[in-house]
């Protein structure tokens, strides 16, 4: 997959974590590191990343989605993902570009599975259907205690529908993220995101470099 000389093969890299861990801040550093190491990088996000998927994102995160059933939320996450994979992720990977994505299916297990309580086996059925075996090559999980992360997210303001959830919801989300990360050490690194932005950026790049060397 990686680095056999000057040419780099396409990688699918995902960043995960609960609100307030600094994913958006650090996305640019991850992309910059990969560019410096010869990758042609496209940065994207989920839900979203393609026009129809962004429209679904508005529905999912906006006030209009508040009364949505948990199953409808799950299906819309995968509808957005199907569109994103079809329009952006797969074509980019086929063209040899590295895709850096702000959240992917680990988020569905964490939020819809852990947070909302949907059976993880039902999520796995949709994952198989929509991804047909496509998995991230590398996943960086930014992790911090819920109270630290939520205090940061709230200080930022402009909360979306998920950010309005209570701490217990995010404790469940974090627990599933950590469990999945520990079950997939071949592709995932857990990065302590409780420090300053500079410290976190250094840890993140070290984890990325270590994963990318394998």
Name the residues that contact ligand TMP, by CB under 6 A: 19, 45-47, 61, 77, 102-103, 107-108, 111-112, 162
160 vs 192, beta carbon nearer ligand TMP: 160
At its nearest, how many Å lie between ligand TMP and the CB of residue 105?
7
At its nearest, how many Å lie between ligand TMP and the CB of residue 94?
22
CA atoms within 13 A on the CB side of 88: 24
At its nearest, how many Å lie between ligand TMP and the CB of residue 213?
28
33 vs 104, beta carbon nearer ligand TMP: 104
33 vs 177, beta carbon nearer ligand TMP: 177
8 vs 187, beta carbon nearer ligand TMP: 187
At its nearest, how many Å lie between ligand TMP and the CB of residue 182?
20
At its nearest, how many Å lie between ligand TMP and the CB of residue 160?
6
8 vs 45, beta carbon nearer ligand TMP: 45
């Amino acid at each position: 997959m990686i680095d056999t000389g000057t040419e780099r093969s396409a990688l699918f890299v995902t960043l995960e974590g609960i609100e307030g861990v600094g994913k958006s801040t650090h996305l640019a550093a991850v992309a910059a590191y990969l560019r410096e190491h010869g990758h042609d990088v496209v940065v994207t996000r989920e839900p979203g990343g393609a026009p129809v998927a962004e429209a679904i994102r508005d529905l999912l995160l906006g006030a209009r989605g508040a009364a949505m059933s948990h199953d409808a939320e799950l299906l819309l996450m995968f509808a957005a993902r199907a569109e994103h994979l079809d329009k952006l992720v797969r074509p980019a990977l086929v063209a040899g570009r590295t895709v850096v994505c702000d959240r992917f299916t680990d988020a569905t297990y964490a939020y819809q599975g852990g947070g909302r309580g949907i059976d993880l086996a039902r999520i796995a059925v949709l994952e198989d259907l929509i991804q047909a075996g496509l998995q991230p090559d590398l996943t960086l999980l930014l992790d911090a205690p819920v109270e630290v992360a939520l205090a940061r997210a709230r200080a930022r303001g402009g909360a979306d529908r998920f950010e309005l959830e209570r701490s217990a919801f995010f404790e469940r989300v974090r627990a599933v993220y950590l469990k999945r990360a520990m079950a997939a050490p071949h592709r995932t690194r857990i990065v302590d995101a409780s420090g300053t932005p500079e410290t976190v950026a250094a840890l993140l790049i070290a984890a990325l470099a270590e994963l990318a060397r394998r």
